[in-house]
Structure 1
Amino acid sequence: MKSPLVLLFDVDGTLIRTDGAGVRAFNRGFFEVMGWENALGTFSAAGMTDMAIAHRVARWFRGSELEPEEMRRVFDRYLELLPAELAAPGGKFRVLEGIQPFLEKYSLRGDILIGLGTGNLEAGARLKLEHGGIADFFKFGGYGSDALNRDELLAVGMARAAAHAGTSILPERVVVIGDTPLDIAAGRAVGAKTLAVATGPFKLGELQAHAPDAAVADFQGAQILESCLEAWL
């Protein structure tokens, strides 16, 4: 009997769009703790882990990475600021089209486990998903608070999936779902299948150029998604 198929979802650009809430909270956190203005305005953070983002900001502003205590203070302030930014009046936070019915359908299946593989801090991911009303679908995951690099946090997520299932799970029974080339590369690095979705900053053709196992425009094309998953089951 095969082990369950594990789906590890990225968060930003894959499940939700926060209308810049995370960037605003990070920018305010960096300014209040470190005095650095518009910290994330110097580069694209798409697909990066929160720890990698923090170190890159520090290298830009002072030429060296954050010390552990500095990072803790920045992250603590970011998490304090995030809820208000998510709920900001006039904000356009949304769960992406097709996600809710997809999660409702596949969470009922005994042969599929749904988790996270995200560069967000675990607490940050939970705040975002709770704001969107979909946090309860995800029982385990690998997070940006677990590792600096995406492939390492995916390995953590895979181990937690196995613990949740109470059985060993081979990498080929894992599907990494994300909206950036970094998601594809990290999934491939851990031996997982990769499903790219063009719901973030990259077009479908740009993602296909990185050779994921499958690529779709969004989660509204249920027939295409279902055919992929059924083939992998």
Structure 2
Amino acid sequence: MPELVLWDIDHTLMATRGLGGELWGEAFEQVTGVALREQASVTGATERVILKETARLHDVVYDETLFTRFADALGDVHVRRAAEMRKRGHALPGAGAVLAALADQGVRQSVVTGNVRRAAEVKLAVFGLNAYVRLDEGAYGEDGEGRPELLRAALERANVSPDGAVFLGDTPADVAGGREAGVRVVAVATGRTSASDLHAAGAHIVLEGLSHTDRVLAAIGA
């Protein structure tokens, strides 16, 4: 088993069934005073990049102050509507069992996600996954714009070399980020990207999902 397993969150461990977009739009309008008409592509992107591109679509000037205010607002709205997320969303099949099995084997786990940290914390707690991950060893939307940058931040915080870690994600951006950071990538076809496209992106192993715990553990430990 690797020393550290890093997880993407959205569509890898859980799905919010459309609520995530609603919360994002609420936070955007709160900090900009502009109703959200169109959101930039979110697949594999970090909140910093999504906000920057969405602000441009609305002729809103982007700067770091705007991002900081937006991150705070997005965290607040996740906290406020956590119960709604629990009702509408769900952990993906097998996610909890895999995290628990890794924890039982003493494997350190954390997250590398484009979500801002407070939103990530809410999502993990809502679906009962927070007990298995070391949040302080992860990386979040506040930490950079791209997956390679986030992965390097997480590795530094965990004091683990790239060859001692495995990253699980569901997008080509996750795969490319892992490869650029020197981390082995196990991709899961639980999001919008097919297994064949994840293979084509360069994932070391591709799984259809997390339902078969032994199969997932074997892939992580390969």
Settle same-fold status: TM greater than 0.5: yes
1:194 corresponds in structure 2 to: 185
C-alpha deviations, 1:36-62, integer Å up to 9, x for none? Answer: 3225x3432011111111111112111
Shift of 1:6: 1.3
User: Do structure 1's residue 176 and structure 2's residue 171 form an aligned pair?
Assistant: no
C-alpha separation between the residues in 1 aligned to 2:215 and 2:114?
Answer: 27
User: Do structure 1's residue 72 and structure 2's residue 68 form an aligned pair?
Assistant: yes
Q: How does 1:126-137 map to 2 (within 5 A)?
A: 126-137=121-132
C-alpha separation between the residues in 2 aligned to 1:36 and 1:150?
Answer: 29
Q: 2:11 aligns with which of 10, 13, 21?
A: 13
Shift of 1:7: 0.8
Shift of 1:69: 2.0
C-alpha separation between the residues in 2 aligned to 1:4 and 1:203?
Answer: 26
C-alpha separation between the residues in 1 aligned to 2:78 and 2:133?
Answer: 20
SS of the aligned residue for 2:108 comes to strand
C-alpha separation between the residues in 2 aligned to 1:36 and 1:206?
Answer: 36
Q: 2:117 aligns with which of 76, 101, 122?
A: 122
Moved over 6 A (4+): none
SS of the aligned residue for 2:81 comes to helix
Q: Which amino acid aligns with 2:142?
A: S
Bigger-Rg structure (1/2): 1
Shift of 1:91: 4.2
2:140 corresponds in structure 1 to: 143
Q: How does 1:144-163 map to 2 (within 5 A)?
A: 144-162=141-159
C-alpha separation between the residues in 1 aligned to 2:219 and 2:15?
Answer: 24
C-alpha separation between the residues in 1 aligned to 2:47 and 2:53?
Answer: 10
Shift of 1:138: 0.8
2:46 corresponds in structure 1 to: 49
Which structure 1 residue ranges, 5 or more long, are not aligned? Answer: 163-168
C-alpha deviations, 1:156-180, integer Å up to 9, x for none? Answer: 1111222xxxxxx321221111010
Percent of aligned pairs with the same amino acid: 28
8 A contact 2:23–2:78 mirrored in 1: yes
Shift of 1:21: 2.4
C-alpha deviations, 1:51-96, integer Å up to 9, x for none? Answer: 11111111211175x1222222222222221234342289421011
8 A contact 2:14–2:91 mirrored in 1: yes
Q: 2:96 aligns with which of 90, 93, 100?
A: 100
Shift of 1:209: 1.4
Higher helix share: 2
Q: Compute the TM-score of the two structures, normalised by the length of structure 1.
A: 0.87
2:58 corresponds in structure 1 to: 61
Which structure 2 residue ranges, 5 or more long, are not aligned? Answer: none
8 A contact 2:79–2:119 mirrored in 1: no
SS of the aligned residue for 1:115 comes to strand
Aligned length, in residue pairs: 220
Q: Compute the TM-score of the two structures, normalised by the length of structure 2.
A: 0.91
